């Protein structure tokens, strides 16, 4: 069902009963960092939101599309530039997965964000 959290165990993501609280907590953290800190760039902020939802894997289908869209929206909204940038998701997938796993360990989005190119609209 579209727009509903998954209700079964996957081999990836967290156990399904924890999905609502994990999503809420992750998005509250992103919102707090956006409003109250300046240590992450707009690029890193969007990638952190993406990586958190990839970690949680909340939906039965469409997680990749949803998390990439969220990343692009946060990246665009957090920019103070006249020309908005978006991520270019044509990436080296094995390296991307490796960096997602590293993010899971240390929650620092800088290396993952640097590995994903962007383009100006």
The residues spanned by each domain of the chain are: 16-120
pTM metric for this prediction: 0.92
The per-residue pLDDT string of the chain (121 residues; one tens digit each, 9 = 90 and over) reads 567 999 988 888 999 999 999 999 999 999 999 999 999 999 999 999 999 999 999 999 889 999 999 999 999 999 998 899 999 999 999 999 999 999 999 999 999 999 999 999 8
The pLDDT assigned to 2 comes to: 61
The pLDDT assigned to 3 comes to: 76
Calpha distance 52→84 (Å, rounded): 23
- What token pair was written down for 79? 């920019």
Structure letter (DSSP) for residue 13: S
Calpha distance 58→5 (Å, rounded): 5
Looking at domain 16-120, which CATH architecture does it have? Orthogonal Bundle (1.10)
What b-and-e string marks burial along 93-120, b requiring 16 or more CB atoms within 10 Å of the CB? eeeeeebeeebeeeeebbebbeebeeee
């Amino acid at each position: 069902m579209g727009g509903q959290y998954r209700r079964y165990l996957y081999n990836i993501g967290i156990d399904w009963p924890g999905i609502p609280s994990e999503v809420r907590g992750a998005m509250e953290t992103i919102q707090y960092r956006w409003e109250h800190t300046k240590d992450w760039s707009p690029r890193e902020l969007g990638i952190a939101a993406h990586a958190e939802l990839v970690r949680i894997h909340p939906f039965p289908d469409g997680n990749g599309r949803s998390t990439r869209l969220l990343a692009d929206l946060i990246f665009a909204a957090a920019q103070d530039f006249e020309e908005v940038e978006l991520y270019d998701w044509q990436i080296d997938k094995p390296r991307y997965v490796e960096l997602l796993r590293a993010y899971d360990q240390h929650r620092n989005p800088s290396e993952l964000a640097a590995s994903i190119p962007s383009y100006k609209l």
